[in-house]
Amino acid sequence: MAEKLQTITELRRHVAHLLSALWQQPEAEAMASVIIGEYTGMGSARQLAFGDQRADPETVGMVLSAAARAANGEPLQYIFGYTMFLGHRIEVGPGVLIPRPETEELTSLIISEKKGFRGVATDICTGSGCIAIALALAFPEATVYGADNSHKALRTAAHNVISNRAEVSLIPFDILSQPAGAIEQSSLIVSNPPYVTESEKRLMHVNVTDHEPHEALFVPDDDPLLFYRHLVKTADERLATDGSIYLEANEAYAEEAARLFNPSRYSEIKVMADFRGKQRFIKAVKNG
């Protein structure tokens, strides 16, 4: 097949066809463009403008191999081995949650609201380390920690810390079983914990349910606020006076999660919408 697919246009058409078995046509065509761009360096506009350009057989082979994996539901980020997060290259692989645009938006919000931050920041459930790395690079005078209970995630995060030349200290920490004292007293706590309920799993695409780590995504239907109770308890003990906590949340439970913060201990407790208008972010400031 590779020797017959000589031009970029032919390759785009073939890859989109392969992907259309699992994705709607517009998504399949967009993914085809991304895959071809990854291995040719040609953006979508160039692919269209120079569609008659011939791709060398080695490039065609790499594109088709990636397309076959994507057609089986494997996320492109795992196929490529990385994703971009606020301009930083973050390596990801099986067993490590792929950062979402919502998480990027939350991190951007923190950076905007905390300009010049110099205190201690702790990212709980750090995963790939994307949030901690972005904060460390945005706040070079801060002390930043990333905590997670997954050894695989911490290994990936360590590699990302080094490759991005970020000053982040990584610590093994299971928020569900370890005492809050295991993390540092912090002026900023942020977390994107598991918050998708088991019943919502059936609504998700197979590229998520069949490939990404369930322990980083799902919580029981009968306890959707499992991690938030522990995060609030951790903030009660380890968030400094006048410190802020930012959380990503399930839109169906964000308001309920925000009510876990005691108004006598916290001010500015609020739920904020993401770019899609979904109630996705929680912020609270600890009183003196």
Q: Is residue 192 part of a domain?
A: yes
Regarding whether 60 and 104 lie in a shared domain, the answer is: no
**Which of 19, 38, 72 represents a domain boundary (last residue)?**
72
Q: Which two tokens stand for residue 166?
A: 């970020």
Q: Is residue 88 part of a domain?
A: no
Rounded to the nearest 10 degrees, the angle between the axes of helix 25-40 and helix 8-19 is: 130
The domain tally of the chain equals 2
Regarding whether 104 and 65 lie in a shared domain, the answer is: no
Q: Is residue 80 part of a domain?
A: no
Q: What is the pLDDT of residue 4?
A: 66
Regarding whether 265 and 171 lie in a shared domain, the answer is: yes
Q: What is the pLDDT of residue 26?
A: 94
The range of the structural domain enclosing residue 32 comes to: 2-72
Successive 10-residue mean pLDDT values, the chain, 288 residues: 72 95 94 97 94 92 96 95 98 95 98 97 98 98 97 97 98 96 96 93 80 87 96 98 98 98 96 96 94
Q: Is residue 34 part of a domain?
A: yes
Domain holding 210: CATH number? 3.40.50.150
Q: What is the pLDDT of residue 152?
A: 96
The pTM of this model reads: 0.93
The span from the CA of 135 to the CA of 110, in Å, is 8
What is the helix (H) or strand (E) element at residue 76, kind and residue range? helix 76-80
Q: Which of 71, 84, 87 minimizes the C-alpha distance to 35?
A: 71
Q: Is residue 17 part of a domain?
A: yes
Q: What is the pLDDT of residue 249?
A: 97
**Which of 72, 88, 105 represents a domain boundary (last residue)?**
72
> Which spans in 92-225 are helix H?
101-113, 130-138, 151-163, 206-209
Regarding whether 225 and 144 lie in a shared domain, the answer is: yes
